[in-house]
Structures are given as C-alpha cells and as structure tokens.
Amino acid sequence: MSASGLSSPTVARFERVLRQRRAIDAEDAHSLAASMGDLLTARSDAGADDEHDPEGPTLSFEWSRLDAVQREAAADLHAVDAALSRIAEGTFGVCTRCGGPIGIDRLNARPTADLCIECARSSAV
C-alpha cells in the first residue's frame, strides 16, 4: 500500500494511463508545433491578405487558436509529468494541500489530480 492507501497494482495502472497520456500529449505538441510553423510561414508571406477573405478564419485568428491549444497541451503535459513524479516519490493519490487521500473516483476521472475533492472545492471558491 502507498501513502494514499492505493494498492501497488492500482498505482501501476495509473502509471500506465499517465504514460500513455504523456505519449499522446507529446505527439500532439509535435503536431501543434508543425502547424504553428506552417502558419508562421503563411503569415510571413507578404502577399497574404487574409484579413479581407470572407471564406474562412484569418491567419491571426488561427494563430490565436493554435496558441491557446498549445498552451493547454503544455499545461496538461506538465500535470502528467507532476503526477508521474508523485508516483515515483510514492505520494501519488495524496492531497498536496491537506495530506489526506485523494479518492479513487476522483483519480479515475482525473489521474493528474493533486488535490482531494474537498481541497479542490475550497480552492475553486
């Protein structure tokens, strides 16, 4: 049993889930970087005047959208890495605020959770 009360097989299952999620996040980050590179190339084209094109989103809009998606992906990757670190340290499933256990239902829904539901509720207020 870990400090959270989770069994070793349960922690191992979460580690597999998190590693799979990390691989997907890394692949998405690579894809986003390529898309942003293509968009940057298109934006630098002196002849591109998409601001008056009624047929679709502007390059500026698309840049903003990709930037937001990239920031969200980076935050998720950071959360996954932090959860994997907690697994390595033996503190996965332990609330970082109160030190109590994070419920299994919460971890199943959000494996990167670092706060128990009570602490998460109190920090959302």
Q: In the chain, pLDDT over 90 holds for what percent of residues?
A: 54
Segment among 61-70, 79-88, 94-103 with least mean pLDDT: 61-70
Query: What is the pLDDT confidence band of residue 57, given thresholds at 50, 70 and 90?
Result: low
Residue 89 lies in a domain: yes
The structural domain count of the chain equals 1
For residue 15, what are the contacts with CB-CB under 8 A and spacing of at least 6?
A: 84, 87
Average pLDDT over residues 8-36: 90
User: Model's pTM, two decimal places?
Assistant: 0.76
pLDDT over 70 (residue 38): yes
Q: Which residue has the tokens 């580690």?
A: 15
Q: What is the pLDDT of residue 115?
A: 97
pLDDT over 60 (residue 54): no
Domain interval for residue 84: 8-93
Residue 36 lies in a domain: yes
Residue 3 lies in a domain: no
Residue 107 lies in a domain: no
Query: What is the pLDDT confidence band of residue 63, given thresholds at 50, 70 and 90?
Result: confident
Could you tell me which residue, 32 or 42, shows the higher pLDDT? 32
Average pLDDT for the chain: 85
CA–CA separation, 33 vs 44, rounded Å? 16
Residue 43 lies in a domain: yes
Q: How far is CA 118 from the centre of its chain?
A: 22
Q: What is the pLDDT of residue 71?
A: 87
